[in-house]
Structure 1
Amino acid sequence: MRTIALDTGSSILAIAAARGHEIVQIRELPPEFRHIENLTPALEELLREVGWSPSSLEALVVAAGPGSFTGLRVGMAAAKGLALACGAPVVSVDSLEALAATETAADPAFQGLLVPVIDARKARLYGALFQQDAADQELPGRFLENSDLPPRELARAITARNPRRWKLTGALDPEVLSPHMPREILERQLPARHPRASSALPGLVRCGAARLRQNQVDDPYAGPAYLRAGDVGEAKNYPRFSG
């Protein structure tokens, strides 16, 4: 199944062409490239590289959030526009689940707790907890729903699980959680295989393919999952937890 996947909820603009759960080609643009200006040209170039026409697309997979308010809207609008033009379904995927599934794809032998995290700004994090129990487990199971919380609370949630081994995945600086966790839990942390600075496209494609097989396609009116209401006001000097 010819699929285009879009991950626009972070500072990296990332898109992929895939067949089922196998990625054919990836394009990632660094933070200095604005999503709203560069997504359409990047999509056109990607389609040329793989030799696909827009009318040949069979599915669109898009990161639904949490993440950047504007970035998520840009990706969702592009996916729906392409889907309308080519008559293909849209499947939105939880961005934290995509991060967890990306690490599972990078290290399928890992068994333990996966902690995908996104910098939510304002000294807070978007985080969740997943468990990977077997190498043949297609997608990790969820233990903590997506949450908007300070680092201390996420550290407490990890500690409460008392994992024998665990990984932090995403662009978060690992030192953000360290002051809030017991040494014995920190010593059980393993480094993530997936690079911190890369997108979650492998997991996004993997989750999207699983949903397509189960015919779990989006309602036409579905929108991003922000977790937090947008606000406009005076900028404050909150710490940033990612690079």
Structure 2
Amino acid sequence: MGTILQIETATSVCSVALSVDGKTIAIKEEKAQNIHASSLTLFIEEVIKSAGINYADLDAIAVSKGPGSYTGLRIGVSTAKGLCFALDKPLIAINTLKMMASGYLDQHPNFGGLICPMIDARRMEVFTAVFDHDLAEVQHTHAKIIDEKSFAPELQNHFVAFIGDGAEKCRTTLDHPNGHFYSQNFNSAALMSKLAFECYLSKSFEDVAYFEPFYLKDFVLTTPKKKV
């Protein structure tokens, strides 16, 4: 049996889930700005209690590794690593965009097109990738500034599902009959269950001491302009 605690903090959604053998049995999440630091450990405690288990009953800790918010990923991964050290449990890292695409396919199992998860990276930039129905990468994970020519070959030849918190702002720019946009939340730890269990069975674990989030882009610190 694989009992896995799952953490997703790549966007403004703070999400914690618990799964057993790839099935989600408990979930706690909330979407709000800057709540990860104050809420994540509370959500973890609530999920553990609601499932009626102890921390020692966990078999692994899974975390959404990015890309996404620098601060959110840092908090999520640091918390996951701390639990792994304290409980002596293995760490599983899941690509955030792949998790989103997997969640979409769980909800739309008959969809035969391409899935393009998008995480908002401000202005018209998104963190994105393109997956087929088997979750194979058609386009690798990258940062992309969206314009009218973006995904033209994919839209010409396939139905494309655009999902995630970066998709809605691209709806007008990517106006095409084959483009379909979905507004629901795909940044949920509950959508990690299947992928995390597959990693658990194959023992695809990370080195807890050296693992770092997949930030994709360097963090840039900006300072407000001084008032004259």
TM-score relative to the length of structure 1: 0.84
- Please name the residue that 2:121 is paired with: 120
**Inter-partner Cα distance in structure 2 for 1:56 and 1:143:** 38
| 1:229 equivalent among 199, 218, 226 | 218
**CA positional deviation for 1:214:** 1.6
Would you say how many aligned residue pairs link Structure 1 and Structure 2? 222
| 1:142 equivalent among 127, 137, 141 | 137
Gap regions ≥5 residues in structure 1: 237-243
- Please name the residue that 1:172 is paired with: 166
2:99 aligned with 1:105: no
Contact 2:167 2:181 in 1 (8 A): no
**Inter-partner Cα distance in structure 2 for 1:163 and 1:95:** 26
**CA positional deviation for 1:33:** 6.2
2:201 aligned with 1:208: no
Name the amino acid aligned to 1:187.
P
- Please name the residue that 2:23 is paired with: 22
Name the amino acid aligned to 2:197.
A
- Please name the residue that 1:239 is paired with: none
**CA positional deviation for 1:115:** 0.4
**Inter-partner Cα distance in structure 1 for 2:187 and 2:195:** 14
Contact 2:16 2:190 in 1 (8 A): no
In structure 2, relative to structure 1, the CA distance for the partners of 1:173 and 1:164 (3 Å cut) is closer
**CA positional deviation for 1:233:** 1.5
Name the amino acid aligned to 1:158.
F
Gap regions ≥5 residues in structure 2: none
Name the amino acid aligned to 1:163.
N
- Please name the residue that 2:94 is paired with: 93
Contact 1:102 1:201 in 2 (8 A): no
TM-score relative to the length of structure 2: 0.90
**CA positional deviation for 1:188:** 1.6
Name the amino acid aligned to 1:208.
A
In structure 2, relative to structure 1, the CA distance for the partners of 1:173 and 1:96 (3 Å cut) is closer
**CA positional deviation for 1:235:** 5.6
**Inter-partner Cα distance in structure 2 for 1:9 and 1:175:** 18
Name the amino acid aligned to 2:170.
V
**CA positional deviation for 1:157:** 4.7
- Please name the residue that 1:217 is paired with: 205
| Identity in percent | 22
* Misfit runs of 4+, over 3 Å: none
Provide, for residues 57-114 of structure 1, a one-character-per-residue CA deviation record: whole Å limited to 9, x for no partner. Answer: 1011100011111110111111111112222111111111111111011111111110
Name the amino acid aligned to 1:116.
P
Cα root mean square deviation, aligned: 1.9
**Inter-partner Cα distance in structure 1 for 2:104 and 2:40:** 25
